[in-house]
Structure formats: C-alpha cells, structure tokens
Amino acid sequence: MWQGEFTWAGGLLTRSIWQKGSTFALPRDIWSILFGTLWFLGWLLLFIWILATTSAVQNWLVYGYRWLFTPCYKKIPFVGKPHELSWWRYLFYGHSSYAAVMASPIEIARWFLQSKSTLHSDIFSYCFMFLAPRIALVSPEAAKHVMVKNVRNYVKPPMVRQGLSNLLGNKGILLAEGEDHARQRRIILPAFHFDALVHLGPIFRAQGRQVVQRWLNRSKPEEPIDVHLDMTQVTMNVIALAAFGYDPNTDSGQELYRAYRDIFTQRPPSRMLSMLFSLLPNGLLRNIPLSRLMRRQQSNVRLVKKKVTEMVQKRREEYEALWKEGKPTSHRDLLDMLVAARDYPELEKKSSNLPYLTDEEITSQALTFMAAGQVTTAVLLSWTLFELSIHPKVQEKLRKELQTLAAINSETSSSVPLQRDAELVQQLDKLEYLDAVLHESLRLHPPVLFITRQAVQDDEIVGYPISRGAIVNIPIVALHRDPEQWGSDAESFRPERFLSSENHNAMQRHPMAWLPFLYGTRACTGQRFAMLEAKTILFELLTKVSVQLQPGCEVKGHGMVSVPRDVRLQVVDLYQE
C-alpha cells in the first residue's frame, strides 16, 4: 500500500510515502510522522538495550573476577541461588529482590534471618545486582566489629557515596572518613548536647500543637488523616526552625518541603528507573522521554541544594557583619554553631589542629541535617502512631503516663513560657514507658534498614577472613527481629521488653542488639535530637486525641528509609463534648 522512504526523525520527512487512492483518509504527513517515530523509537530501544547489555556484561566480568579472586569469598558460606528465581532474573538481580529495598522491610528481615538459620552462620555471602558480592553480618557481635572494634577499616563504598553525595554534597560529616571525619564530628557534637537541645523544646511543642489543632479543626472530622504526610510536614518544620531558623510557612519553605517529600517518597517504578538510568550516559538520558521522572528528581535535588546554600550564605553574612562590628554573636540554632566554628581565623592561624569548617562543609553539613534529621524522625513518628493505633492498650497506658506528667507540670512549672517548655522536655526525657514505646517502634521499624561498608584492609570478623575491598552489610532490620536476641515474640510490638522491670531479658541480650542509630564513632549525632522531638510531639498529640487505624487499611514499608505507605488514621478528640 505504501512505498518510498522516510527519515528517522518523524517530522523531518524527505519524500512522500503515501500513494493516491488509499482507502485510509489520514493525511500523508501523519503516516510519515507515525512510521518515522516508530522507526526512531525502535533504534533507540536497540541502542539502550546494547548499552545496558554491554554494561551488564562488564559488571558480570568485574564481579565474577572478585568472586573468584577475592580470598574471603571461598571461606564464607554462600547462600546459593534461590530455586524459585530463573537464571535470567538471578543474573540480573542476584538476591536483591529479597535483600535490598526492592522488597519490603519485613521481607528483607525474614530473608536474612532465614538464610542465617539455613546456613547456621552469623555471616554469609550473597549477590547484589549483576551478581556483585556482598557479605551479610547477621549478629550484634559481627556488627560491633564494624561499628566499634575496627571502625576505621570500614568506609562507605563508592556506590553509597555517590548516591548520598548527589543530595548532600561531598564534604559533610556523613561522607567524611578518617581524620577529616573526626575533626567534623568534634565540631558538630556540642550542638547536640542535651543542655543545648532542651532549649529547642518550644519549637518541638509549638509544632506538635499545630498538627493537633489541624486535626481537631478539620471540616470533616470523620475522614481519616494520612499520618506520614503530616509527620513529614511537622519534622520538616522542626528541622527548618531548629537547625536554620528558617520559616517553613513561607512560599519558599513550602517549595522546599514539596521537593524533599518528592525525593524521599520515590515509589518502586521510579526507583527501578533510577537504577536502569544509572547505566546510561548522562547526555543520552536527557533525550529519553521516560527520564522525565528522573529529571524531576534531579531538579528537586538542585532546588534543595540552592535553598540550603542561600540559607548558609545569608547566615554567614549576618555573622560576619556582627563579627566585624565587634558585637556578640548568638547561638540560636545548629547553623549559628556551624558558621561560628568556621570563623575563627585568628585561632586557626595559631594551630592547624583547631577545628573549623569550610564553606562547602557548612553547606554539606546543613544538607545532612535536613536529610538525616527530617525523614528518619518522620518515619519514627509515623510507625509509632501506626503501632499505637493497632495496640489500644499500649496507647492508653502511654496516655496515662503523659497525662500524669501534664498535670504535675501545670502545677509546678515556671511561669515563663519558654522555660516551661524546656522543663517539660527535660521531664519527658525521664518517662520510662514513653522511652520504651519509642525503642520498640525503632526496633520493629528502624528507619535506616541496613548500612553498607567496604573493608580498607584485610581483616577478620567473628573468625571469618574479610579481604580488602570486600563489601559488608549490616541488616539492622533483621537484627532487630532476630528471635535469638528478642525471643519468640520478636515480631510483636511489646514496649514492656524495654522496661527495667523486665531487666532479666535485657541481660541475656547483646548490648548492641538494638542499633537503629549505630554505635561508636559513626553513630548518629542526632539521636537525642530525634528522641526529644518525637517524645514532645507524641506528648502534644496523645494528651489531646486518640488514634485508630482506618479499617481495611493495609500498611507496608518501602524505600531506603522504610517509609510507611498509606497509614490512614481516624482521630478522636479526647475532650469532645
């Protein structure tokens, strides 16, 4: 029916292909464009396929070489190919459908624990994508070796660094290693001291009150709330105010909030795409329509970086102006402290050992606090509210503890509002059941599911050799559900296990069996910040409302930071008339 030729770019037709007398009424140009586009897409797909296959073969050769010639892999038990996986899927995914974020957190935990029990070994090897070798450390003692005993020998591998540096820049504490890391940590730690943090009490309380007011003033109180959305907003506000004194209620603050939410709530298709597109050169990426999702992701990252850089620069200018005028500089928030640490030029000259932070480091640090401090705490609060919503007795017991404190506090606390808030935060920190509830929530739903490290030198972990370059993985989520440490009810939510009255159980447990913040010199610097924030916000919420899970609501975790998906809660006003 049709003859002739057309160019590959549909619109750029060189000659007509449609002969007169056709039974179809479509104009010639449309057919030409259609066939031209199909032709173009066909070649493009072939090109992508060739690139992806070449890259996969190259990966298989590199990783195959590592399996064969890295001595430790011959001595560590290997988990084997899952029989239900076809060879093709196995070659491509390895065990990552079970052991990485493509599975849900509970599936990940079960897979590691099952492999541990089948192999009768706390340490075993398995494959990541393209059969890349990994070593799992599934006991607190093995994890302790990497976190504490020989921490300097284990650094973040290039793949992890690349993922983090896209968002955080290259110079922050999370990516620093060795002496550089120790220097940055020395500077940052004082800002997270308990005495400094209780002064953030008014911010924590005000944000908690705002959420509960929003819940109570809804026009349709019977409609459920999306708890993770609200907790994301509240923790974003807290970190923006407490770390940077940045007003989240401005248009610009809202823009930042939306970009952050998008970055951290990537769903499986876009995660898969991120992985596939990472195989292609950047230039090619821009021309593929499918990469629109990825481009949105990149533009979100650019926006966050731009905003944080602006905040840092503004604060530095303010600080320098005060410094030049000889006026006292204030320490309102984390950013003040970072800027001050950088600006000790006189002292700096005297000793090169004195701490200081460069401009780039300050920006990276600020981005790190935003990323590390916001999403993780939102996840902690969302899972805790979810667990309380399905365990009404625990919720009631906790409410009693909080209400008792509220009653005491209203009688005895200071008449100065800011001081009163700081005092309350101090008292909240001493509540045993509140602490136990948060510990139990972090045990079952650790926001960071696992950490990955690469050995710098040959080493030995619990009697097994670890060769230089080997990549080890601590699956926190699996260690937290291991019946060997937590007993036969390891999968149940039971805060009582953390109470001192059940100390006999705790004595049998390894001191590092609970490790959501890690231990040692790489432990989370924001642990106290996160716990105080979560405690204060729960206090504000649970003394005013009760929460129940919306019937029929199926909740699953997903993503790098175990974001709970679709937690819909019904909120009941405790003082409703």
Q: At what angle do helices 392-412 and 359-390 cross, to 10 degrees?
A: 120
**121 in Cβ contact with 77 (< 8 Å):** yes
Burial class (CB in 10 A: 0-12, 13-18, 19+), 157: middle
**446 in Cβ contact with 377 (< 8 Å):** no
Which amino acid, residue 294?
M
Choice between 119 and 191, CB closer to ligand HEM: 191
127 is in an annotated binding site: no
Rule CB under 6 A: say whether 264 interacts with ligand HEM. Answer: no
Rule CB under 6 A: say whether 139 interacts with ligand HEM. Answer: no
The binder of ligand HEM chosen from 124, 126, 450, 517 (CB under 6 A): 517
How far apart are CB 442 and ligand HEM at their closest, in Å?
Answer: 6
Which has the closest alpha carbon to 109: 470, 380, 485, 512?
Answer: 485
How would you label 430-445 residue by residue, b for 16+ Cβ within 10 Å and e otherwise? ebebbbbbbbbbbbbb
Choice between 266 and 368, CB closer to ligand HEM: 368
Show the binding pattern over residues 394-433: x = contacts ligand HEM (CB under 6 A), - = does not. Answer: ----------------------------------------
Choice between 518 and 571, CB closer to ligand HEM: 518
The binder of ligand HEM chosen from 171, 205, 522, 535 (CB under 6 A): 522
Q: For residues 421 and 199, give the distance between their C-alpha atoms in angstroms, rounded to a whole number.
A: 8
Residue 444 CB contacts under 8 Å (≥ 6 apart), including other chains? 383, 387, 480, 481, 491, 493
How far apart are CB 182 and ligand HEM at their closest, in Å?
Answer: 9
Q: Considering only 64-72, 319-327, 371-379, 408-416, which stretch makes contact with ligand HEM by CB under 6 A? A: 371-379
Choice between 513 and 530, CB closer to ligand HEM: 530
Both tokens assigned to 251: 């248009």
Show the binding pattern over residues 142-181: x = contacts ligand HEM (CB under 6 A), - = does not. Answer: -------------------------------xx-------
Choice between 32 and 139, CB closer to ligand HEM: 139
How far apart are CB 160 and ligand HEM at their closest, in Å?
Answer: 7
Choice between 495 and 526, CB closer to ligand HEM: 526
How far apart are CB 321 and ligand HEM at their closest, in Å?
Answer: 27
Query: Shortest Cβ contact with ligand HEM: which residue?
Result: 526
Residue 387 C-beta-side C-alpha neighbours within 13 Å: 25
Choice between 373 and 557, CB closer to ligand HEM: 373
Helix (H) or strand (E) holding 166: helix 158-168
Choice between 372 and 424, CB closer to ligand HEM: 372
Site for ligand HEM in 351-370 (CB under 6 A): 368-369
Both tokens assigned to 260: 């952050």
Rule CB under 6 A: say whether 516 interacts with ligand HEM. Answer: yes
Q: For residues 455 and 145, give the distance between their C-alpha atoms in angstroms, rounded to a whole number.
A: 12
Q: For residues 184 and 176, give the distance between their C-alpha atoms in angstroms, rounded to a whole number.
A: 8
**380 in Cβ contact with 534 (< 8 Å):** yes
Helix (H) or strand (E) holding 485: helix 483-486
For residue 497, give Cα distances in angstroms to 15, 484, 504, 519: 78, 14, 10, 21
Which has the closest alpha carbon to 445: 568, 530, 550, 558?
Answer: 558
Site for ligand HEM in 177-236 (CB under 6 A): 185
Site size for ligand HEM (CB under 6 A): 22
Choice between 116 and 480, CB closer to ligand HEM: 480
Helix (H) or strand (E) holding 569: strand 568-573
The binder of ligand HEM chosen from 17, 142, 256, 451 (CB under 6 A): 451
φ and ψ at residue 451, rounded to 5 degrees: -125, 150
How far apart are CB 441 and ligand HEM at their closest, in Å?
Answer: 9
The binder of ligand HEM chosen from 72, 147, 518, 532 (CB under 6 A): 518
**558 in Cβ contact with 101 (< 8 Å):** yes
Rule CB under 6 A: say whether 472 interacts with ligand HEM. Answer: no
Both tokens assigned to 392: 């009404």
Rule CB under 6 A: say whether 525 interacts with ligand HEM. Answer: yes
Choice between 123 and 236, CB closer to ligand HEM: 236
Rule CB under 6 A: say whether 373 interacts with ligand HEM. Answer: yes
Cα 194–200–204 angle (5° rounding)? 120
Cα 493–526–105 angle (5° rounding)? 40
- Maximal C-alpha separation, the chain: 95
Q: For residues 450 and 469, give the distance between their C-alpha atoms in angstroms, rounded to a whole number.
A: 19
Choice between 17 and 532, CB closer to ligand HEM: 532
Site for ligand HEM in 429-448 (CB under 6 A): 447-448
How far apart are CB 157 and ligand HEM at their closest, in Å?
Answer: 11
φ and ψ at residue 351, rounded to 5 degrees: -145, 125
How far apart are CB 211 and ligand HEM at their closest, in Å?
Answer: 18
Binding-site positions for heme read 524
By the criterion CB under 6 A, which residues form the site for ligand HEM?
173-174, 185, 368-369, 372-373, 376-377, 380, 447-448, 451, 516-518, 522, 524-526, 529-530
